[in-house]
Chains A and B, each alone.
Chain A
Amino acid sequence: MSKTSNINRVDGFAKVTGSATYSAEYKTPGITYACLVGSTIAKGTIKSIDTKKAEWAPGVLAVITHLNVDKPAGYEQPKKRENLGQPLQIFKDNTVRYYDQPIALVIADTFERMQYAASLIKAEYLKEEHSTELEKVKDKGKLPGGERAKDYNRGILDGYKNAEVVLEEEYTIPTEVHNPMELANIIAKWDGNKPILYTKSQGVEGTRKSVGNVFGIPAEDVEVHSEYLGGAFGMGLHTWPYEIAALIGSKKIGKPVKLVLHREQMFTNVGFRPYTIQKMGLGATKDGKLTGLTHEALAMTSNYEDFTEATVNMSRFMYDCANVSTKYRIAELDTCTPIWMRGPGEATGSFALESAIDELAHKLDLDPIEFRKRNHAEKDLEQNKPWSSKYLLECYEGGMERIGWKNRKNKPGSVREGEWLVGYGMGTGTFGSFRNPTTVKAKFLANGSLVLQCSVNDMGPGTATMMTAIGAEITGIPTENVIIEMGRSGLPKGPTQGGSATTSSVGSAVHDTCNLLVSKTLGLATENETFKNIPITDLSFANGAISSKKDTKKSVSLVSLLNNNKLEELSVENESKGSEEAKKYSIYSFSVHFVKVLVNPNLGKIRIAHVVSCADIGTVINQKTSAGQMYGGAVGGIGMGLMESLEIDHRFGRAINNNFADYHVPVNADIEKQEVFFVNKKDPISNPMGTKGLGETALVGMAPAIANAVFNATGKRVRDLPITLDKILEPSVAKA
């Protein structure tokens, strides 16, 4: 345990006092208020739009529609549709592509007047037949572009069919919506031809690029601030039409515009986890050796942009199996484009894979962990590479002990606590551990503090805290004297926050840059009188001072070193990226969620009585914030497993439960006891700290763990999420 391994969040004070400033909260003189009015059909064209009443309403500054918009220069560019290449070009023409698509922007001088004016806008449409139901376009799946989406085959195609014991099942997950607590929001303004955005973005540099493309200006001219994000979970990975609309509006009226989506619009306009239908075919020998695995998925995308995620990819390497085939297809529906949601792809895929593994174990009358152990993959068979590290078996052990796995019986419904049926289940998760090029500037100030700069942002995992811990560890500067500047453009370029890559990317850059800064400082010290004739290799830097290793009495403080040299600061800016060596390995995090449920089958009530979440994420930089992520991932998985589903009334193509009263996410009472266990063993390959990713894998595997526990409790196998009470309800039978 290092000194920094359990520090409190460095932004804690700001967050508990309300002084943390989220995007729409910047105090901006002359601010105006805007909102978007959505279409009330799912497909067709706008025949007419009556904006007069709104324009004449008190306080209204502008109403912008496709009829009067000054189209951004980038709208003229031809667009490719694959891989999110063509975001919806707001107000481009009269086409309606999905229900609640923005058709007008209203700007007024106060929030209340803006809201009222927006209610006065009415449009007429020429309706066309819409399609919002994936089940009805099952035959319209297409192979998307991109290397990872391609069909995969190892060994005999659909080899599972020849096995002694065969399982074939279909699994469905509904559309789920990120719904961070902070609404999508922006303050947009212009400095001449340069846009300035205070927005909810997970990637400052990505937003600069997208906005630059839309307005036909260089990314460097786009100023983006995204210093605090009230959660995002993937929703902030795209630059959305609302952000462009606010910029268009601000340009039009020459004033700063604040636009905050309504919660209802969070369900329809800023992406979601796509509805996905999966087919699994598994084959094994009678003694539990997996011999074949086929995983096929069909997911939805929009009618204007191709969205893909790695839904089936986990099945290629998770288990030791000779014959593996995967297929991934997408089909267009008349909705907004999906966007990666926490544990993207893998969360969906693991529901099918880990449910099917549990089902097959049951068929074989094997303990599901024993079955997994018999098929433990000692290396990555997809890439044919060794794992950089893999402590999955330790996760199994840690979880079994804590959850009380020994109390589990293979036969469903055979354990009771009072009136409750008891079930135990588990699900394995994994996520690739990536490291993206990152530039960090580190500087010592003349007052002895350390400043770390990077444009990366922190949507909640504790990025600033992690940077502080690593910087403090390397330099010996106390954490309270480390200053983090992040989350805005103009700083050294950091990566997008996503894919669990932040600690590996930014942490490594902090690590490397701070080491360089220490070397530079020692180099400067060799010129100091005190260290005359002492080689740099004999100098060390600790506790804010440079000392001779051989004669520790010879010591100069950092403060006096800088002052003696009349330096206000000493800095290093450095780009850090993954090694060639790392490419020889397969680097993945692993997680296992264990769940104990209590079920009342007469009411369909499922209680999450105990959750133990275990993970192999390499070195744990901060026990506190990492545990927080793991707890949170499990709670997200409870939502996915038990309650989250965007309901569409297909007659209208409209989301029906577009609010927090009808779209349920877990509340505090939904989880009774939670524990986290990290193996905490350094990965020798991944990066200098030996960390692997956490944020995504923290959710992956939780939903199937619940489904498996519910099966163990009730004997009911639910293959379509969420497991709502109606799916396990039993007519009550009077006891004899």
Chain B
Amino acid sequence: MKNFQIIRALSSKSAVSSIAKENSAMFIAGGTNLVDLMKKNVVAPDKLIDINGVDLKKIEFLTGKVSIGALAKNSQVAEDKVIKEKYPLLALALAAGASQQIRHMASVGGNMLQRTRCSYFYNTDMPCNKRVPKSGCGAIGGSNRMHAIFGASDSCIAVHPSDMCIALAALEATVLVEGPKGKREIKFTDFHRLPGNTPEKDNTLLEKEIITSIEIPTNNFTKNIHYLKVRDRSSYAFALVSVAVGLDIQNNTIQDARLAMGGVAHKPWRLTEAEEFLKGKTVSEATFKKAADLAMKGARSYGDNDFKLTLGPNAITEALTIAASK
């Protein structure tokens, strides 16, 4: 690892102003992904701005929403009593990610910014358009078991690896950011992006902007919810496919539905068409299967990940069934 300078920022404003002066500086919070990437020489910043001293760790329950500080730890959110009661889908998704040690270290903001786990991205002797633009995509025609079936491009078929973000996409969260030009809000589903011709960009955060918090509106998805994570072992593995489900069921009729998938795209993949279809329907396996089929429209596989075309709809049906039966 290249040596670097480390600066401790004590407010989001000063963090932004510190980074504004630098060409090759990065924020560091939990470090669970960044330190790893630095060890692998995937990134090599000259300067790190340690933002752990910034007061962004609070979880606040406000009228009509909850605000979660960007530096709140994954385990802190997952085990918060009120989050578990009012936003159980988020708690479930968080608990499904990584290991408890990593959840204790990783921040909410850092979780959103984690890079793909694609092996070609991580191994610097391999081609990867995300790491080195125009160097080619190793995963296309290579080892792509983990890779995307939605929204990929000829440049990149990597997937976003987070579990938390899948729940946040389903719960229609908002991302609050601060940058040299001030503060702004980004719809969670607009935060991550598809690769297109510029896979080096994971998200729509502008240069030198910092995430300060996320907000989730109050909702009725407290009972019939589920986060289903399918992976190659029972724990401590990234999702091959995951499904976040929130249903609002009254008298066996689905009033409202939220569905998002992980492990299938460069961003949390919201299934709006399936959601619309479910609204107003009676709970039944046939309905869920139909929704799953709708959700898979446009899916495309790359060889090793062909199975996701079968696993995807099955996982959706399964997650909906479990959620409805709660």
Contacts and interface: CB of A to CB of B under 8 A. Distances in A.
Determine whether A and B are in direct contact in the complex, meaning some CB atoms lie less than 8 angstroms apart: yes
Interface of A: 40, 112, 115-116, 119, 600, 602-605, 607, 642-643, 647, 649, 651-652, 654, 656-659, 661-662, 664, 666-670, 724-726, 729-732, 734-735
Contacts of A666: 233
B141 A605 contact: no
Nearest to B138: A649
Interface string B142-166: 1101000000000000000000000
B89 to A, nearest CB: 19
A656 B145 CA distance: 11
B235 interface: yes
B289 interface: yes
Given A119-B2, A643-B233, A734-B286, 19 more contacts: A112-B3, A116-B2, A119-B41, A600-B318, A602-B317, A605-B230, A607-B234, A656-B142, A657-B119, A661-B117, A661-B237, A662-B117, A664-B232, A669-B233, A670-B235, A724-B232, A726-B311, A729-B310, A734-B289
A731 B314 contact: yes
10 contacts: A115-B1, A119-B1, A603-B315, A604-B307, A642-B233, A649-B143, A654-B125, A656-B123, A658-B123, A667-B236
A732 B313 contact: yes
B240 interface: yes
Nearest to B319: A603
Q: Which DSSP category, helix, strand, loop or mixed, fits chain A's interface?
A: loop
Nearest to A647: B143
A654 B120 CA distance: 11
Q: Which DSSP category, helix, strand, loop or mixed, fits chain B's interface?
A: loop
Contact of A725 (B2, B117, B240, B318): B240
B235 A669 contact: yes
A526 B156 CA distance: 86
B126 interface: yes
A664 B310 contact: no
A735 B120 CA distance: 42
Contacts of A652: 126
Given A657-B143, A670-B233, A732 B119 contact: no
Nearest to A652: B126
A659 B238 CA distance: 13
Contacts of B1: 112, 115-116, 119
B185 interface: no
B285 interface: yes
Given A119-B41, A656-B119, A725 B285 contact: no
B310 A731 contact: yes
A39 to B, nearest CB: 9
Contacts, number: 98
B233 A667 contact: yes
Interface in B270-320: 285-286, 289, 306-307, 310-311, 313-315, 317-318
Nearest to A99: B125
A664 B234 CA distance: 10
A603 B142 contact: no
A600 B232 CA distance: 14
A642 B233 CA distance: 8
A732 B289 contact: yes
A605 B234 CA distance: 9
A651 B230 contact: no
Contacts of B126: 649, 652, 654
| Shortest beta-carbon contacts, A-B, top 3 | A726-B307, A669-B234, A669-B235
A85 to B, nearest CB: 31
A441 to B, nearest CB: 45
A577 to B, nearest CB: 44
Contacts of A658: 123
Contacts of B120: 656
A662 B118 CA distance: 9
B234 A603 contact: no
A661 B122 CA distance: 12
Nearest to B238: A661
B142 A604 contact: no
A734 B285 contact: yes
Interface in B72-88: none
A666 B236 CA distance: 10
Contacts of B235: 667-670
Contacts of A654: 123, 125-126
B119 A604 contact: no
Contacts of B234: 607, 667, 669-670
B307 A732 contact: no
Contacts of B314: 602-603, 729, 731-732
B300 to A, nearest CB: 17
Given A649-B142, A664-B233, A725 B3 contact: no
Contacts of B41: 119
A619 B138 CA distance: 54
Contacts of B310: 729-731
Nearest to A724: B232
Contacts of B240: 725
Contacts of B3: 112, 116
Contact of A729 (B228, B238, B307): B307
Contacts of A603: 228, 230, 311, 314-315, 318
A605 B119 CA distance: 24
Contacts of A726: 306-307, 311
B68 to A, nearest CB: 26
B130 to A, nearest CB: 16
A725 B143 contact: no
A615 to B, nearest CB: 26
A77 B39 CA distance: 40
Nearest to B124: A119
Most-contacted residue by chain B among A115, A659, A666, A732 (CB, 10 A): A732
B293 to A, nearest CB: 11
A725 B233 contact: no
A649 B289 CA distance: 36
A604 B308 CA distance: 11
Interface in B91-146: 117, 119-120, 122-123, 125-126, 138, 141-143, 145
Interface in B200-227: none
A116 to B, nearest CB: 6
Contact of B311 (A651, A667, A725): A725
Nearest to B313: A732
Interface string B248-275: 0000000000000000000000000000
A270 B119 CA distance: 21
Contact of A602 (B39, B236, B318): B318
A651 B141 contact: yes
B115 to A, nearest CB: 13
Contact of A662 (B119, B138, B142, B286): B119
Contacts of B233: 642-643, 664, 666-667, 669-670
A209 B41 CA distance: 39
Contacts of A607: 234
A37 to B, nearest CB: 11
B119 A725 contact: no
Contacts of B119: 656-657, 662
Interface in B10-66: 39, 41
A70 B160 CA distance: 48
A729 B228 CA distance: 16
Nearest to A39: B125
Nearest to A604: B311
A364 to B, nearest CB: 33
Nearest to B237: A664
Contacts of B123: 654, 656, 658
Nearest to A671: B234
Nearest to A657: B119
Contacts of B138: 649
A25 B286 CA distance: 61
Contacts of B315: 602-603
A116 B38 CA distance: 11
Nearest to A649: B142
A205 to B, nearest CB: 37
A253 B318 CA distance: 63
Contacts of A735: 285
